Structure formats: structure tokens, C-alpha cells
Amino acid sequence: MDVIAWLRGLGLERYASAFRDNDIDGGLLRQLTAEDLRELGVASVGHRRRLLDAIASFDASTPAADPPGRAAETIATLAPARADAERRQLTVMFCDLVGSTELSARLDPEDLREVIAEYHRAVADVVRSLDGFVAKYMGDGVLIYFGYPRAHEDDAERAVRAGLGVIDAVGRLDVGSGKLQARVGIATGLVVVGDLIGEGSAQEQSIVGETPNLAARLQSRAEPNAVVIAAGTRRLVGDLFEYRDLGAVAVKGIAGPVPASQVLRPSAVASRFEALRSGETPLVGRDEELELLRRRWDQAKTGAGRVVLISAEPGIGKSRLAEAFRESLEGEPHTRLRYFCSVHHQDSALFPIISQLERAAGFAGDDSPEAKLDKLQALVSTTDPATDVPLLAELLSVPLDGRYPALDLTPQRKKEKTFEALLRQLAGLAERQPVLMIYEDLHWADPTSRELMDLTVEHVARLPALLIATFRPEFQPHWTGQPHVTTLSLRRLGRDESDELVRGIIGNVGALSSEVIDEIVERTDGVPLFLEEVTKAVLETAALGAIPAASATVPATLHASLMARLDRLGPMAKEVAQVGAAIGRDFSYELLAAVAQPAEAEVRDALGRLANAGLVFQRGMPPNATFLFKHALVQDTAYSMLLRGPRQALHARIAEALEQRFPTVVEMQPEILAHHFAQGAMPIAAVDYWIKAGDLARRRSAYAEATAHLVKGLELIPALSDLKARTAKELTIQTALGQLYMATKGYGSAEAEAAYARASDLCEQIDDRDQFMRVLIGLRG
Ligand SMILES: Nc1ncnc2c1ncn2[C@@H]1O[C@H](COP(=O)(O)OP(=O)(O)OP(=O)(O)O)[C@@H](O)[C@H]1O
Ligand SMILES: [Mg+2]
């Protein structure tokens, strides 16, 4: 192969002399790593990328110049894959215009074109408002992704909202003659997404997988103006919506009928916690926290109000704690007020307050304006209803109906007056009996609600009221210094508590072995949400008859939320997280920098972001720093995005870097190299290191580990292409295994006998007398 011509083809002939001076020929080209390229003077990250991509995409059938053996095992033999494609869980939405054939018969083509354009615009507007991605227009069909290019923890909910929104928006389009109708299909699943087609098609982010097909088919099964969702999506949106069960529908191209539901409307459940996480699992731990809340409540009841701020990352149990405390007050006279901030209403002024009032007043969808005003009047408990009712009516967009004089105030003045009215309302309630206010998810509060919150916190101090507010750490309240305010940082559960939680979920559903439970506890780091979801996922696989294991995959219910945390930090941080994830739960800066493709400054910056976002813990400073993924599930998520080709290439680079620069690891932990060589599709090297690892463990009398290492080596034997090497390696392994089984299972055990029998067969095959003698000694004991 002509290296110079190849470089020219890539537009990178400027490196020709460097390649020539370093004796890089066509054969060696296939083995080049990012590190080599850097040494060759390819300083630009983009150029290194281009070269590595081109190397990785060599046709595997092109003969390599090297003889078979270790040297031929390089990243070049791996399947070509584009680096910018990813595996992801996506919610895919497909929407179509009803009766377009009939429309095309009726309309002049030019008018039809305009109608379609308007319809496309309407769809795109709705989708954009929910941060979805219009991937493709196909005639009157539109393909939309939620979860790419940026994931959100609530992608499935966003897609369903978009579906309802599209039906509504299309129905309101004014096309002169008649109304338009749409239908929508939505499905969630794992896909490969990215620029799959190659150069110049970056606009068209295509996906591969069953999910888009399912969404399209469900769409075609939907009635006009209906949103039909697949079971996978349905599970993610819980009770956020009301549904009609469509049973199992037959879908072309997919084996077996698939359960589907039609989404009717958003449900009346206001609490995200209740809609999505109303699992009836017993409460674990949290005694001290409940005790603290109890004390604050007792203090508040005397008229010296208290505020407790509960802060913690998602899934730790903030809502659950607030709920548990609320339940503990049942049977005790008090008024409960609950406010829910929503990620979708961060720009809508006083959204949590308005929806609380609407619920408290008992507004129904079909109430007339008069009925609403009546209900509001009944609700208002202030000393000054003549001022407050009109203010609150205006807040809730209820017409005053001539019953009250219209308000004539500047916007600023009106806001102040409304705040006063709301605070008076609170005071009025507190006068009757103690008030418990629960304010959920303050990190999503709109700016006006935050202003009101400032006043409320102040106000509460003089009332018999306890205000509990929950939020994630990204929100930093400035009330913490006040004497009546307590901050409660909720910690993760301990090992025993985690164990108890898992056992609580398993209940009598089915037993899991203690090993599997330990594995779940290990992998979920004391985060109750992770514990719950991983346990449920493991139970489901067990119910399907598979061997339950916690290490399989990231549960679908957690995927979006974990992915969102990575996406938020930008592509470079995500890439660095993937490299770290391939190395392991903890990784050193030194190794990471040696194998990561981005330049060092970028790697440092990316690691800084990951640490700041709390995804990894950092110890020390680069170049001596080490990092640890805070959650195993974040590591798994980052790793799971890698496609096979780049993933194998990455492991191969890690293995090679370890071999070249980390002699202590080579000597003391050969199993680490074995793992990376195996994952890097370099079985020859992997087998050698598994043998080394087995030997080392045996010499340390760690027989179980030694056996495990050797068995892994044995599993790779069929992957060796060279027959002679294959026989020789297997013989080494079987002999060593024979000895180990003799030591652990006993002389004459079935395992030892099988290993020696196989070894003696192999000896015959290669006619190795020395080895045969050794085997014979083994056989005789
Ligand atoms: N102490 C606990 N014992 C048993 N289950 C718990 C406990 N804490 C939380 N859970 C469960 O874990 C899940 C997550 O809890 P929760 O929704 O309260 O988290 P959160 O901190 O409010 O998260 P977010 O930031 O997303 O609102 C829920 O299903 C909840 O029932
Ligand atoms: Mg919560």
C-alpha cells in the first residue's frame, strides 16, 4: 500500500515526510495509535481523528503485511465505525397528516404545498418548544427524536406532550377548506444514532434500530387525532397522562403483537413523585430526618414558624421523605398546601401557586367562569376578600363577571398586591390551624415564584407553619443564614439500608440470591431510585427465565436521566467520560491522557467539568490525579454509548498503553491487561495475560481467582486463528487448571480429570513429550 498516496487522499500529505522518516509502511499503518501519531508530529486533534478514522475503516480483508500473530492484532482489523455515532435510548415520534391523498385530489398542487409547509411548521414549533429534534420530513410524515442530540430525564414525557401538542396545533391550522388532522406514534428504545451516512449528510441524523419502525407502525394504526404509544414509552410516563389501553396490536415487521396505549390527556396528578414513583416499597432508614422534621413541626405549631430545606441529587429520596413526614401527620389537625414546580413551566410566572389554587378551589375543566369565581370566593380565607378575590381571580385568569370592579394597576403594583394577597391567604389559613407547606423541586421554580418564596420564608417565621422545600444541589437558596431555617442534606443510604430496600422490593415476588442482591447494592451506591430501578430490572429479567444479574445493562427508566447528566457537559466531557469508563470505575489521569484522543488541555478541561458536575471524584492534581466515577451507573451509561468498533479500539489502546508504560500493572495485575486485550479483540495477547494472571494468583494461593482467570483465557481459545498457537495455549491452560482443580476440588475430581484428559489429547496433537510427561505426572497425582 502506498502510504503517501493514502495521505494525499485524505488531504494530509503534509505528514508524508514524517511517515517516511519514521519508516511507516503500509503494514505498520494499521497499527498506528493516537500516541504514535502524536509522536509523528500530528499535533492537530482533528488530523489525528481523520487518520485514525481512516485507519479504522480499512477493509479488514486487505491483507496485512505482517505475519499472523500478535502484531496482526491491531485496531485495523476491527469493524469500521464512525466515531460520531452513538448507542442511545431514544424516544422516537412519527407523525403524519390524515387524508393527504384526499387533500391532494382536492387542492391545487401549489396550495397543497403551502398546506404541507404550514403543517411542517406547526409540528416543528411544538417539537422545538419541548427541545425535541426534527430529524426528517418525508412527504407529510415527520420523524422526530427526543433524547438526541441532547437527552433530558423526561424525554418520554416530552414526546407525549409533543404528540398531544401536534394534534392540537394541526387541528387549529386554518387551511381555508376544512380542518386538518394528524396522527402520532411514539416508541422508546435503544438505537444507534448519528451521522451514519457519512460526509456531507450531517444534517440528516439517521437512526438504526427497531424503535423508529415501531413508532411509524403505531402511527399508521392510530385513529385520526390520536397519539398511540408503545409499552416501553408507557412505562416511562407512568401516571402523568390518562390512557386508553389498546391491547396488543399486530405490527408489521415486528415479531409478536405489541402492547399499545392511546394517550387521552394529561392526568390530574400534580405530583411528579406520585405520577412516576408511587412504588409501594417500605420506607427504609431516615429516622433522624423524620425526627428533625417532627421537632421543627412542634416548634412551628407554637407560632414560631420553621423552614426546612431538603437538598440532594436526583433519586435520593427528597420527595419520599417529605411524603413520609406528611403521612406521619395524618390524624393531627393541620392544613396541607403542596406546590409543585415543573421543568416545563419554568418561564410561566407563579405556575406552582396557580396550579395549587386551582386544585384547592376544585376547578373542573368544564366549569363556567361564574362557577369558577364561586369556587374561588369560597376558597379565599382572608380578612379582605373584596381586594383579594379580584387579585386571585386575575391570577387564575377567571373573569370578574362584573361582581367586582376591575383592577386598574401597573404590572409591578399588581404583582406586589398579588403577593400580599397570597401571604394574607396563608396567614388566614394558619389562623385556623397549623399549616404544612411542601414546596417541591424549587430548582425549577420560575423567577416570580422565587421572589414570592423570599417573602414566604420571611413570613412563615411569624406563623404556625412549617415550610418544607425540596430541591437538587444546582439550586442554592440564600435563606440558609436565617435562624428559623434548617438545611437538610439528604445522604445516600448505607449498605445495610440498601440491602433492606432491595429485599423490601423483592418481597415475595421472587427470591434473588444474596450474591445478586450484593451486586445490586454494589452497583447502585445507596441511591434509592437506582436501587429500586435496578432491582426491578433484575426481577424482570429473572421473570423472563434469564439468570438474574445486576451487571447487565442500565435500566431503561434511568437511562435518560443518566444520559442527560453526561450530555449537559458537552461532547468533549462525554468522550473523556467514555474513555474513563472503558478503563474502569477509577482511572488515573496518566493512563487516560495516554489513550484519549483529544489534546491534553481539552482532556483536563473535560475532567474538570466532570468533577464539577459531581459525576467523578478527583484526588490530586493532574498529572498525578486519579478519578473515580461517583456512580457505577454513570460509568455504565457512558460506556454503553460506544459502538463496537470504537469501543474495541479504545480497549486496545488502553491495553497497549498499559503494556508500554505501566510495568507495575503488567507485573502485578496482568488480569487488567488481559481484560483490555480481550475487549479490544486482541485474543492472542489476552490469552497470554490470562495465563500470566492465573499463574500469579496461584502463586499467591488465590485459587478461586486463578481458576477464574484461566477459564476466561480458555473461553478465548476458539478466537485464536493460528492452529498451532491455539493448541499450545490451550494445553498450558488445561494443565494449569488440572493442577488447580486437584488442589481445590481434590485428586480424582471430575473437573481435574476432564482438564487432564483434554491436556493429554492436546499433547498428542502437537507431539510435545515434555509437556506430556508433566500431564502424566498430573494424572498420576
Ligand atoms: N428511604 C427510602 N426508603 C425506601 N424507598 C425510598 C427511600 N427514599 C426514596 N425511596 C424511593 O426512591 C425513589 C426516589 O425517591 P424520590 O423520588 O423521593 O427522590 P428525589 O430525591 O425526590 O428525586 P428527584 O430529585 O428526582 O425529585 C422513589 O421511588 C422513592 O419511593
Ligand atoms: Mg422529588
Structure confidence by residue, pLDDT tens digits, 417-476: 999 999 999 999 999 999 999 999 999 999 999 999 999 999 999 999 999 999 999 899
Question: Does residue 275 register a pLDDT over 60?
Answer: yes
The reported pLDDT for the residue numbered 779 is: 56
pLDDT digits (tens, 9 = 90+) for 524-548: 999 999 999 998 888 887 777 666 6
The reported pLDDT for the residue numbered 56 is: 63
Segment 492-521 mean pLDDT: 85
The pTM of the full predicted model, rounded to 2 decimals, is 0.82
Residue 153 grid coordinates: 430525564
Q: How many helices (H) and strands (E) does the chain have?
A: 34, 16
> pLDDT class for 78, splitting at 50, 70, 90?
very low
Question: Does residue 62 register a pLDDT over 50?
Answer: no
pLDDT digits (tens, 9 = 90+) for 400-422: 878 888 888 888 999 999 999 99
Instruction: Specify whether the CB–CB gap between 133 and 155 falls below 8 A.
Output: no
Whole-number Å distance, alpha carbon 320 to ligand 1 midpoint, is 5
The reported pLDDT for the residue numbered 771 is: 67
The reported pLDDT for the residue numbered 777 is: 65
Segment 197-213 mean pLDDT: 65
Question: Does residue 276 register a pLDDT over 80?
Answer: yes
- CA-proximal residue: ligand 1, atom 6 (nearest): 528
Q: What contacts 24+ positions apart, CB below 8 Å, involve 586-589?
A: 586/626, 586/627, 586/628, 586/629, 587/626, 587/627, 588/625, 588/626, 588/627, 589/622, 589/623, 589/624, 589/625, 589/626, 589/627
Phi and psi, residue 588, nearest 5°: -95, 150
Distance in angstroms (rounded) separating the CA atoms of residues 521 and 36: 42
Question: Does residue 192 register a pLDDT over 60?
Answer: yes
Whole-number Å distance, alpha carbon 490 to ligand 2 midpoint, is 12
Of the two residues 771 and 317, the one the predictor is more confident about is 317
Question: Does residue 73 register a pLDDT over 60?
Answer: no
Distance in angstroms (rounded) separating the CA atoms of residues 310 and 295: 15
Segment 597-602 mean pLDDT: 87
Pick from 51-60, 146-155, 359-368, 604-613: least confident: 51-60
Percent of residues, the chain, with pLDDT higher than 70: 90
Of the two residues 4 and 582, the one the predictor is more confident about is 582
How high does pLDDT run on average in the chain?
A: 86
Residue 543: burial class (beta carbons within 10 Å; 0-12, 13-18, 19+)? exposed
The reported pLDDT for the residue numbered 550 is: 58
- CA-proximal residue: ligand 1, atom 9 (nearest): 317
Question: Does residue 25 register a pLDDT over 80?
Answer: no
Question: Does residue 52 register a pLDDT over 90?
Answer: no
Ligand whose nearest atom lies closest to the CA of 526: 1
Q: Give CA angle at 634 (630, 637), nearest 5°.
A: 165
Ligand whose nearest atom lies closest to the CA of 282: 1
> How does strand 182-194 pair with strand 141-146?
unpaired
Question: Does residue 594 register a pLDDT over 70?
Answer: yes
Ligand whose nearest atom lies closest to the CA of 316: 1
Whole-number Å distance, alpha carbon 161 to ligand 1 midpoint, is 24
Pick from 44-48, 322-326, 400-404, 620-624: least confident: 44-48
Phi and psi, residue 343, nearest 5°: -60, -25
Whole-number Å distance, alpha carbon 501 to ligand 1 midpoint, is 11
Whole-number Å distance, alpha carbon 484 to ligand 1 midpoint, is 26
Ranges of beta strands (E only) in 127-203 are 133-138, 141-146, 182-194
Phi and psi, residue 61, nearest 5°: -85, -10
Of the two residues 52 and 213, the one the predictor is more confident about is 213
Distance in angstroms (rounded) separating the CA atoms of residues 533 and 542: 14
The reported pLDDT for the residue numbered 416 is: 93
> pLDDT class for 200, splitting at 50, 70, 90?
very low
Residue 573: burial class (beta carbons within 10 Å; 0-12, 13-18, 19+)? buried
Q: Which domains does the chain have, with CATH numbers?
A: 3-57 (1.10.150.50), 70-266 (3.30.70.1230), 287-489 (3.40.50.300), 495-566 (1.10.8), 569-638 (1.10.10.10)
Distance in angstroms (rounded) separating the CA atoms of residues 377 and 388: 9
Question: Does residue 32 register a pLDDT over 50?
Answer: yes
Question: Does residue 75 register a pLDDT over 50?
Answer: no
Taking the CA of residue 282 as reference, the ligand 1 atom at the shortest distance is: 4
- CA-proximal residue: ligand 1, atom 26 (nearest): 314
Of the two residues 24 and 705, the one the predictor is more confident about is 705
Question: Does residue 66 register a pLDDT over 50?
Answer: no
Residue 499 grid coordinates: 440491602
Distance in angstroms (rounded) separating the CA atoms of residues 609 and 586: 17
> pLDDT class for 201, splitting at 50, 70, 90?
very low
Question: Does residue 71 register a pLDDT over 50?
Answer: no
Question: Does residue 504 register a pLDDT over 80?
Answer: yes
pLDDT digits (tens, 9 = 90+) for 477-493: 999 889 999 999 999 99
The reported pLDDT for the residue numbered 768 is: 67
Distance in angstroms (rounded) separating the CA atoms of residues 433 and 435: 6
Whole-number Å distance, alpha carbon 324 to ligand 1 midpoint, is 11
The reported pLDDT for the residue numbered 305 is: 94
In testing the pocket of ligand 1, which one of 153, 154, 277 has its CB within 8 Å of the most ligand atoms? 277
The reported pLDDT for the residue numbered 778 is: 60
H or E element that contains 616? strand 616-619
Q: Is 316 in the pocket of ligand 1 (CB under 6 A)?
A: yes
pLDDT digits (tens, 9 = 90+) for 670-716: 999 999 999 999 999 999 999 999 999 998 888 889 999 999 999 99
Question: Does residue 315 register a pLDDT over 70?
Answer: yes
Instruction: Specify whether the CB–CB gap between 157 and 236 falls below 8 A.
Output: yes
The reported pLDDT for the residue numbered 68 is: 37
Of the two residues 14 and 133, the one the predictor is more confident about is 133
